[in-house]
Amino acid sequence: MVQVRFLPGGQEVAVAAGTSILEAARLAGVEIFPGLCGGQGTCGKCQVRVVGPVSEPDPGELALLEHMADERRLACLTRVLGPEPVEVHLASRRVGNILLEGQGRPVALEPASRWQTIAVPPASLTEARADGTRLEEALGQQLAIPLPILQSLPGRIRQGPISVLTGYGHLWEIAADLGQKTYGVAVDLGTTTVAGYLWDLTNGVCLATSGVLNPQSMYAADVIGRIYYAQQEQDGLAQLTKAAQKAVNQLIGHLAEQAGIDRTEIVDVVMVGNTCMHHLFFGIDPYYLAQAPYVAAWQRSLTAPASEVDLQVYPQAQVTFLPNIAGFVGADTVGAMLAAELDIRPGTKLLVDLGTNGEIVLAAGDRFFACSTAAGPAFEGGQISCGMRADAGAIDHLRWEDGGLRYSVIGQGPPTGLCGSGLVDAIAMLLEIGALDASGRLLGPDEVPAAVRPHILSSPEGNQFTIVGDVRLTQKDVRQVQLAKGAISAGIAVLLGMAGIEAPDEVLLAGALGNNFHQDSARAIGLVPDIPALRGIGNAAGVGAQVALCSLTERRRAELLAARAKHVELATRADFNQAFMEAMFFPGNK
C-alpha cells in the first residue's frame, strides 16, 4: 500500500500501487476541481503538483500540459507507484461564478411548514370536545399528531397561547416560546453546480444565497457518465448519492452561517434538478434513464423526510423535489416554467436552458412541448482546448473593433481560457471578420483580411485562431461548437414545426450562459431564432424552487405544468436528423 497525503488540507489515505491520484482523492474525501471530462484524461483540468514516485506522463498528458511551467500533472492520469509516500499539492479551490440570481415574481406566502401562535378555546360542560379536536379547529385543519406530543397536549394547551409547528398534514412540535421563525431552503441541484437560497417563511424574505460545485463531477462530468458509474462501479450509486447529499448539506451550512441561524431551524426544503440528479439524490437506480425508452422511476413531486436523505436540518423537516417531465427533462425545467409563468404569459414563448443537456420548452397557447438535446459540454468549457468555467481568468466577451481584437476577462487578471459566453462571441466574431466560413472551416492566412492574418496559425490538425497568448480557438473547437449549437437549434426547429409556428414571439434564455452571452452573438451563429425579443431570465430553475418553497399553490401549479407538457423524444424523429444536419452550418451561404 502507498500512503498519499493531500495538501494543504493534510488528508491521508493508503491505496494500492497503480491507483490514480483522482481515485485516491475520492477515497480520502478530497474534492479535486474542475474536471470537465469526469476523469477520462481529455480536458486537462484536474491539475496537481506531485512529490514522490508516480507514473511517467504519456504523450496525451504531455500534450494537455504543454503550456504548464511548474511541472503539473493530471490527477486522473497520474498513478502512485510507491513504496515511498506520495504528496499531492492541490491548486487553490474556487467555486467560480455560480449563477444565483433570476427574475423573481411576487407570490402570496403560503409555506407548507410553519410555526403558528394559537390559543386553544377552553373546554366546558357544554363544549366538551376533545383537546385535539379543539386544537385542529384553532388551526383550521386536521392533523396527524405524534403520540409523544399527544401525551403532553392536555397540559400544554391549558397554559395559554402556544406555538405549534405544522406541515405536510402533521403537527411536528409544540413550543412555549411564542412567535418563532420559520425557515426554508430552496436548492437547484445542477450537474456541475448547486445553488441554494435560505428564506424566512414567516415574512417572505430571502436571507442568504450561496453556491457550491457538485462533487459528483469527480466521478463523471455528465449525467450519462454518472448513470454508468452508478451501474458499473461497486457501490457507485451509493457514492454518487452521498456526494449529492454532502453538497446540499455543505450548502445549507453556508446559508445558515450567512443568516446567523442554526441549521436545525430549517423546517422545509424544496429542490429542483434534472431527472438524473433527482434519482441520484434519492438513491434511485438511474440505469433505465439511459436505456430506450428512457423512462424515469418517478414523475410527480417526491417528498421524503430529511433524515432519510441525510440532510442535517430540523429532524422532522421534509424534502420535496418538484416533478419531472421525462427521463431527460426534469424538475429544473419545471421550475423554470414555473418561474417564467409560461401557463399565463400571452403569445408564443420559447424557453431554452443551455447546458450539457439542453432543455427546450415551447408554450403555444394552451399547448406545451418539451424536449432535451445532447448539446455536450462545449458551452461549459468542456472539450474545448482552452475552455474553462466562468471563473477568474476566463475571457467572457470579445469582439473585433477598430481593426483589432478586444476582450474582457473575469476577475480582471491575465486571460487563461474561454468560458461559454466568450466562446459564442469568438465564433460570431470569426464569422464577422471572414475567418470562418458557413461550413465551419477556419480559413488559412492567405484567405483572410490582412489585419486578421497575425491571428491565424496553420498546423497539421487544422488552422487555429490565436486570441491572446496561449488562448487559441482550434478547428476541433469550432466543430464542437457546431455540434452543440446544431443540437439546440434542431430541437427548437422540431418543436416549432410540431406547433405549426415559424418563429416564437419571445425567446427566454435560462441559466448562466443564456444570462451572460451577447444576444447578437447567439443570433449570429444560429444558436437561437433570429428575432428581436430575446431575454435572459437568469437561474429560472432556482427561482422556481424558491416560488414553490414559499407557496403550496405554486407547488400544485408545478404539478399541472409538468402534466400538461408533451414530451418530444427527438431520437425517434426523422425531422430532427434533417434539422440537425442543416443546423450544423452557420448562417450564411451553405
- Looking at the structure, do residues 548 and 411 belong to the same domain, yes or no? no
Question: 119 with 44, same domain?
Answer: no
- 371 and 386 together in one domain: no
Within a domain: 458: yes
CATH number at residue 50: 3.10.20.30
- Please count the other Cβ atoms lying within 10 Å of the Cβ belonging to residue 520: 12
User: Which pLDDT value is given to residue 352?
Assistant: 93
Q: Is 217 inside any structural domain?
A: no
pLDDT confidence of residue 67: 56
Strands 302-305 and 349-353: what pairing? unpaired
| Cα of 560 vs its chain's centroid, Å | 23
Boundary-marking domain end, from 158, 175, 192: 175
Residue 475 and residue 546 in one domain: no
- Of the residues 432, 465, 480, the one at which a domain ends: 480
In a domain, 331, yes or no: no
Residue 311 lies inside a defined structural domain of this protein: no
Residue 76: per-residue pLDDT: 87
Domain, as residue range, for 161: 113-175
Angle at 410 between CA 404 and CA 415, to 5 degrees: 55
Which strands form 417-418's sheet, in the order they lie side by side? 404-409, 394-401, 417-418
Q: How far apart are CA 515 and CA 349, in angstroms?
A: 17
Domain count, the chain: 4
pTM score, whole prediction: 0.85
Q: Are residue 394 and residue 532 in the same domain, yes or no?
A: no
Q: List residues bridging with 353 in a β-sheet.
A: 359, 510
Q: Are residues 29 and 171 in the same domain?
A: no
Q: Residue 233 burial by CB count (10 A; 0-12/13-18/19+): exposed, middle or buried?
A: middle
pLDDT of residue 97: 53
* 117 in the same domain as 25: no
In a domain, 271, yes or no: no
Same domain, 12 and 54: yes
Q: What is the CATH number of the domain that holds 140?
A: 3.10.20.880
Can you give the pLDDT of all 590 residues of the chain as single tens digits?
889 998 877 888 899 999 999 888 888 878 776 455 666 777 777 888 899 999 998 888 887 776 555 678 888 899 999 888 999 988 644 444 555 565 666 788 999 999 999 999 998 888 889 999 999 999 999 999 999 999 999 999 988 898 999 999 999 999 877 778 999 999 999 988 899 999 999 999 999 999 998 999 888 878 888 999 999 999 999 999 999 999 999 999 999 999 999 999 999 999 999 999 999 999 999 999 999 899 999 999 999 999 999 999 999 999 999 999 999 999 999 999 999 999 988 889 999 998 777 899 999 988 999 999 888 778 877 788 888 888 888 999 999 998 899 999 998 789 989 988 999 999 999 999 999 999 999 999 999 999 999 999 988 888 999 999 889 999 999 999 999 999 999 999 999 999 999 999 999 998 777 667 788 899 999 999 888 888 888 889 999 999 999 999 999 999 999 999 999 999 889 999 999 999 999 986 44
Question: Does residue 238 belong to any structural domain of this protein?
Answer: no
- Residue 407 inside a domain? The answer is yes
Q: Which among 51, 72, 52, 69 is positioned nearest to 61, based on CA atoms? A: 72
CA-CA distances (angstroms) from residue 583 to 91, 107, 112, 350, 443?
39, 40, 45, 18, 20
Q: Are residues 390 and 475 in the same domain?
A: yes
- DSSP H helices, 500-529, are 511-516, 519-524
- Same domain as 509, residue 386: no
Flag whether 537 is in a domain. yes
The torsion angle over the Cα atoms of residues 580, 584, 586 and 590, rounded to 10 degrees, is -90
Output the pLDDT for position 38: 62
Domain of 364, CATH number, reads: 3.30.420
Cell numbers for 479, please give them: 466543430
535 lies in the same domain as 557: yes
Q: 418 with 368, same domain?
A: no
**Residue that terminates a domain, selected from 175, 205, 225:** 175
